[in-house]
Amino acid sequence: MLVGAGRHGYDFDPWAGSIIEWRGRWRQPSLFAAAAIPAPEQRTPRVRKKTSRPSSKLLQKNLRDLNSENRPAFQEKLRELKSKRKWTYDEFMQKATPFVRDDKTAVYDKTSDQLLSEISSMGQAGAQSGTADCALVIELRARMKALTDTQVAKWRYMFEKLDAELMK
């Protein structure tokens, strides 16, 4: 990738490659110029500014997919429990609540809320900064994964609890 005309009629971008344009002709750089180009493993990675946006959309998609996968199956099992126990609607609303909300699900919800808050504040900090911060993006992705893992664990716990009750 050419960056512009240098003092001697040539210039090159060391991040893009090793071809130099010199007075309109292409040639390989000299050994001195090649020595100035850092090896690929020595280069600092560049993060584009838009990197966090696709990640947040991916997180939203993952959470939406997780809920759309699990909610119908969970509701079906709740209906099965209702019919097995021959509960009325009012009894069902009262007795099914512990399968959806208890101390352990409250911990999952609190963890999820905390992670969402951190993700939001990190996203705002990244949007306000003038340059992209690779460490921030890596940390943001780690928090997004932790949020997804927390939701998976919550669904697993609720299904296990409901399955155990259905076995009785």
Lookup result for tokens 């991916």: 58
Q: Would the pLDDT of 95 be above 70?
A: yes
73 has pLDDT over 90? yes
Q: Say how many domains are in the chain.
A: 2
Share of the chain above pLDDT 90, in %: 42
pLDDT at residue 46 is higher than 60: no
- Residue with the larger pLDDT of the pair 46 and 136: 136
Query: Does residue 64 belong to any structural domain of this protein?
Result: yes
User: What is the pLDDT, as a whole number, of residue 48?
Assistant: 52
Per-residue pLDDT at 20: 39
Give the structural domain span for 31: 10-42
Residues 15 and 78 in one domain: no
d(CA 84, CA 54): 45
| Better-scored residue on pLDDT, 81 or 40 | 81
- Please state, in angstroms and rounded to a whole number, the distance separating the CA atoms of residues 163 and 168: 9
Q: What span, in angstroms and rounded, lies between the C-alpha atoms of 16 and 54?
A: 24
pLDDT above 60 for 54:
no
**pLDDT > 70: percent of the chain:** 64
Asked if residue 30 belongs to a domain, the reply is yes
Residue 3 covered by a domain = no
Q: Is 25 helix (H, G, I), strand (E, B) or coil?
A: strand
pLDDT (average), residues 53-77 = 84
Q: Are residues 21 and 101 in the same domain?
A: no
Q: What is the pTM of this model?
A: 0.64
**Is residue 4 in a domain?**
no
Same-domain status, 95 and 37: no
More confident residue, 116 or 125: 116
Mark whether 17 and 71 lie in a shared domain: no
